[in-house]
Amino acid sequence: MDFIRTEIPDVVICKPKVFGDHRGYFSETFRKDTLEEFLGYKVNFCQDNESRSTYGVLRGMHYQLPPFTQTKLVRVIEGRVLDVAVDIRQGSPYYGKAAVVELNDKDRNQLFIPRGFAHGFVVLSETATFAYKCDNYYAPEYDSGFLFNDSFLDIDWRIPMDNMVLSEKDKNQPIFSEAEKFDFSKNLYEEYISNGR
């Protein structure tokens, strides 16, 4: 597995080695020790999620508030998506900036998104199967988010608005300036440990 930092260095592209022949392929999709060695801190994933969506489905922008903040490792099993992580750590030099990466079933790259970021994606292919690991359990009472097309963020989602398919929840999220944020001066990982996670 190779690792490449995005324009927001805490968000990392994970490039697996894929070994293929006439039978198909083999790929190691996650290895805790090499990821931790690159990051310089521990990761403790505890929940896997998977969704299947059709072209234009946009899910985002989502995150969980403390003490249920989440690190995610996301990938596409089938299809193509545009994946977006927005820094919501107030005081961060990258606050309000987005790391935007296409994930697909050909190069099989993954995106590591640490706590303090909102996440969303839109499906670019006819269908897509999307999977991700989390290091904290889903806690709906701590669920939060903001509007995917807030003009302050200026994200190019690469498909026409008329083709986007959203849940009622995502259509009615608050604008970015009104959403709850994180404090960059706090170590969200230490906060996670101190709360017994």
Write out the catalytic residue numbers. Answer: 62, 132
Cα angle 78-144-3, degrees, rounded to a multiple of 5: 45
Upper half-sphere CA count for residue 143 (Cβ side, 13 Å): 11
Computed from CA positions of residues 80, 82, 88, 94, in that sequence, does the dihedral angle turn out positive or negative? positive
What are the tokens at 1? Answer: 């597995």
Judge contact between 122 and 158, C-beta under 8 A: yes
Separation CA 26–CA 73 (nearest Å): 19
Q: 5: number of CA atoms within 13 Å, CB side? A: 6
CA atoms within 13 A on the CB side of 11: 23
